[in-house]
Structure 1
Amino acid sequence: MAEPNTRERILEATAELYRRQGMPATGLKQISAAANAPFGSIYHHFPGGKESISVEVIRFEGIRYGEFVGAQLAETDPLDGIPQLFENAGTLLESQDYAEACSIETIALEVASTNERLRLEAAGVFESWLGSLASWFGQLDLDDEQCRRLALVTLTSLEGAFVLSRTLRSTEPLLAAGLGVRAAVRAAVDAG
């Protein structure tokens, strides 16, 4: 596999720093050092500075996480497999010493009221993920509205559980959220 080019290294380093410490705490010099890239290369590849890097990180991470979760969904039954998905997320979070979770969530929390451009980029990623989840729930023979609702329940449960799990340094919130989502799915199937 080829080594990532300078632009990719900057994006990967920025995404990791954002996941670990958030966007406001991450400076351009820190990004440059973490990417092992000359400082001037940041403005060469991202003329708009930190906001431009952040837009690209949101897009980059949105695709990366979407593909990662999509692969897991493809192997999981939408009725009974949900707790395992949440357990897997907890195992991964625990293996990273609760230091990393969803960088999109982190950025969205930090900019939702202060930077419309970044808020819209994060919203676009979340909508993409919701669409994928809704399609996945479509296997259950539910209507579009029910699938969208279950996608919202799943994503909000997952993202909220990440916050609590990181804060409590425990996978308990993720495990409980997985059981809660499964109950919501079962209720929708039984009602429909």
Structure 2
Amino acid sequence: MEQSDTRARIQGAATVLFRRHGYAATGLKRVATEAEAPFGSIYHFFPGGKQQLAEDMIRTSGPAYGRMVLTLLDTVTDPAESLISAFDAAGADLASTGYADACPIGTMALEVASSNEVLRTATAEVFDEWTESAARWFGRWVDDPAEARSLARSMIMMLEGAFMLSRAGRDPEPLRVAGRSMAELLRAAVARNGAG
């Protein structure tokens, strides 16, 4: 029990630190301190060190975040209004953390895309998984699979871009604008080729 608790604390601390500060700015000593774990325990659970810990964070928190977004989208019956509500909630959540906690994958993806192939691949695979899951969600209202996939990608791009603008400007408005824009994209797609 103690070992799994220590591993979970390390994973939790790493997730927060990588999400807020990125890969290069997150040191393993800081992870150990935040996790209240002995430094050596990181290498006990993650023998590959920082890269393995970061890959674990991407491959566990990425899918969890994707599921959370889809669950949030299902809380409002009308899909366009659901998108507006979800983006508004993302803006409120971001503001409540002092603009520190955005997407758990976005910060890492930008940083490692050209410098670490293992982590780039992991982030790309998470984004692909999000795209497929979101395409299935949009497919409930749009018959054309290519259009549903395009909407899914648009949602992810708008969310990630809006997070960046909101963090930089310390203002949730870009997320609210992105939500309204996604709602209009979905309404237009439904008008062209709605499901059913």
Measured against the shorter chain, the TM-score band is over 0.9
Greater alpha carbon shift after TM alignment, 71-80 vs 172-181: 71-80
Q: State the SS of the aligned residue for 1:24.
A: coil
Task: Give TM-score, length-normalised by structure 2.
Answer: 0.93
The answer on 1:9 being equivalent to 2:9 is yes
Structure 2 unaligned blocks of 5 or more: none
| Equivalent in the alignment of 2:23 | 23
User: Once the two structures are superposed, what CA deviation does each residue of 1:67-107 show, in whole Å capped at 9, x if it has no partner?
Assistant: 21121122233233211110000010011110111121111
Report the aligned-residue RMSD.
1.5
- 2-side partners of 1:82 and 1:57: how far apart? 26
Shift of the alpha carbon at 1:166?
0.4
Q: What's the % identity of the aligned pairs?
A: 47
- For residues 132-174 of structure 1, give each alpha carbon's deviation from its aligned partner in whole angstroms, at most 9, with x where no partner exists: 1111111114211000000011010001000000000001100
CA-CA distance at 1:187 after TM superposition: 1.2
| Aligned-partner Cα distance in 2 for 1:180–1:129 | 19
What is aligned with 1:184? 185
Aligned 8 A contact 2:80 2:184 in 1: no
Give TM-score, length-normalised by structure 1.
Answer: 0.95
Determine if contact 2:63/2:130 at 8 Å carries over to the other structure.
no
Output the amino acid matched with 2:125. Answer: G
Q: Number of aligned pairs?
A: 191
Aligned twin of 2:122: 121
How far the C-alpha of 1:64 sits from its partner, in A, is 2.0
Partner Cα distance (1:190, 1:3) in 2: 54
Give the equivalent residue in structure 1 for 2:90.
89
* Alpha-carbon separation, structure 1, partners of 2:22 and 2:123: 14
Q: 1:3 to 1:91 in 2, by over 3 A?
A: farther
Give the corresponding residue for 1:40: 40
CA distance in 2, matches of 1:175, 1:4: 39
| 2: CA distance, partners of 1:80 / 1:32 | 42
